[in-house]
A = this chain, B = another copy of it.
Amino acid sequence: METKILLTEKELPTAWYNIQADMPNLPKPPLHPATKRPVGPEDLAPIFPLELIKQEVTRERWVPIPEEVLAIYRLWRPSPLFRARRLEQVLQTPARIYYKYEGVSPAGSHKLNTAVPQAYFNKQAGIKRLATETGAGQWGSALSMACNFFGMECTVYMVKVSYHQKPYRRILMQVFGAEVLASPTDRTQSGRAILSQDPDSPGSLGIAISEAVEDAATHGDTNYSLGSVLNHVLLHQTVIGLEAKAQMEKAGDYPDVVIGCVGGGSNYPGLAFPFLQDRFAGKAQSRFIAVEPSACPTLTRGLHTYDFGDVAGLTPLLYMYTLGKDFMPPAIHAGGLRYHGDAPLLCQLVADGFIEARAYGQRQVFEAAVQFAQAEGIVPAPESAHAIKCAIDEALAAREAGEARVILFNLSGHGHFDLAAYDAYLAGELQDYALPEEELQRSLARLPKVE
């Protein structure tokens, strides 16, 4: 029996799976930030190309992947599915643990799966430059690389505190020719407004989104690109789950539980949606678990309602679980999981009971990460380690119950650029944060009013 279950390049999926064709209830539509009426394609056209706007709303079950995108995907895809035999032995569990490894992408995470088609469809639409934001840097690295592949320019608004704390991520983007700016900047009205109040603002993902959206909206040759949350992003990520389904079939197994970490919600839907298709069709009864940090407990403690995607209120209002756009999570090391909201498609499936949500503190997450690394060799991204912690808990529960459960999780990226966080963990310096209830209520009280 093999350690890695591989697919050939001929087995690479040629269409993405669109869950909007099959899910019982669609989320309420996005609303225009000013009129509070459902947004139309014309509202999105200043910052997105038509093809991506179509993908945002289509009900077609399959969306073809263009050959130009497949050619880039083949640089690292299909990605391997591992059977975690050594981890199973350490845990002495009868469970069979599988993980899909997206860290083999040259950007180091799943983010390149959507960066490539986003750059491609923008290039097709005649766009010369993409503007985006990045927090931990995974998304900025991926979009920089994708723009480079298609000969486009890329401007990345990088949250200032990350810009200074994560120079390696900044350099990686620059190797691929991107312009990287510490946000808030004085280039945008949104940035200048923040700086006038607090010249030393460390920035936030919400602020950086406002800057990137404004940059795109005010330059004709420039569009905006988002690495998570939106329907078309989740669509592109389903290449993960489609491959994983074919690989599980080769392994002769089917997952009893499908696990992933959630920040804005893109890697987990990418893995889970193709398996959810089977559940909707009554073909399988798998459980689905979305894992988030207890410091930013959007799915486990947030409200399912309309909120802005950014701090300045420039984006459409999205119907999602949210902690409130002004919520400022503490500086935990899983920087990619610090967003106040989550993808509307994912949130709807949580609200409808198809997906459970679970939150963990960062110390137990790093403990799981080190246990995983020592067993399997791969040092995981702190974000991905949330999924590992949950998978280990499920494997221990299987041992307790004496059941040979099949566990599948997404290892969305490696932790090569996050070793400072491991250093802090090994030195005993990591702290756990639990969001105080009164702080949460204060934030939720400021949610925008929608009729």
Contacts and interface: CB of A to CB of B under 8 A. Distances in A.
A75 B148 CA distance: 31
Contacts of A168: 168, 416, 419-420
Interface in A1-22: 2-4, 6, 8-9
A90 to B, nearest CB: 11
Nearest to A421: B171
Given A168-B419, A175-B373, A6 B3 contact: no
B106 A75 contact: no
A167 interface: yes
A377 B145 contact: yes
Interface string A377-403: 111000000000000000000000000
A4 B108 contact: no
B416 A417 contact: yes
A176 interface: yes
Given A104-B104, A416-B417, A175 B379 contact: yes
Contact of A374 (B3, B177, B420): B177
B2 A379 contact: no
A251 interface: no
Contacts of A175: 370, 373-374, 379, 419, 422, 426
Q: Determine the interface band of chain A, counting residues with CB < 8 A from chain B.
A: 35 or more
Interface in A136-176: 145, 148-149, 167-168, 171-172, 174-176
User: Copy number in this complex?
Assistant: 2
Interface string A353-381: 00000000000000000100110111100
Contacts of A442: none
Interface string A414-431: 001101101100100000
A425 to B, nearest CB: 9
B420 A171 contact: yes
A106 B423 contact: no
B8 A6 contact: yes
A291 to B, nearest CB: 21
Contacts of A62: none
Contact of A171 (B4, B8, B378, B419): B419
Contacts of A3: 9, 71, 74-75
A168 B420 CA distance: 7
A4 B167 contact: no
A280 interface: no
A105 to B, nearest CB: 8
A367 B177 CA distance: 13
A379 B74 CA distance: 17
A373 B106 CA distance: 9
A75 B423 contact: no
Contacts of A145: 377
Q: By CB atoms of chain B within 10 A, which of A9, A174, A377 has the most?
A: A377
Nearest to A369: B175
A419 B71 CA distance: 27
A344 B359 CA distance: 56
Contacts of A377: 75-76, 106-107, 145, 149
A374 B417 CA distance: 19
Rank and list the top 9 A-B pairs by shortest CB-CB distance, nearest first.
Answer: A106-B377, A416-B416, A3-B74, A171-B419, A168-B419, A171-B423, A2-B9, A106-B378, A75-B377
12 contacts: A3-B74, A86-B149, A107-B377, A167-B420, A167-B423, A168-B168, A175-B373, A175-B374, A175-B419, A176-B373, A176-B374, A416-B417
Given A6-B6, A167-B423, A177-B374, 7 more contacts: A6-B8, A75-B376, A108-B416, A168-B168, A172-B379, A172-B419, A175-B379
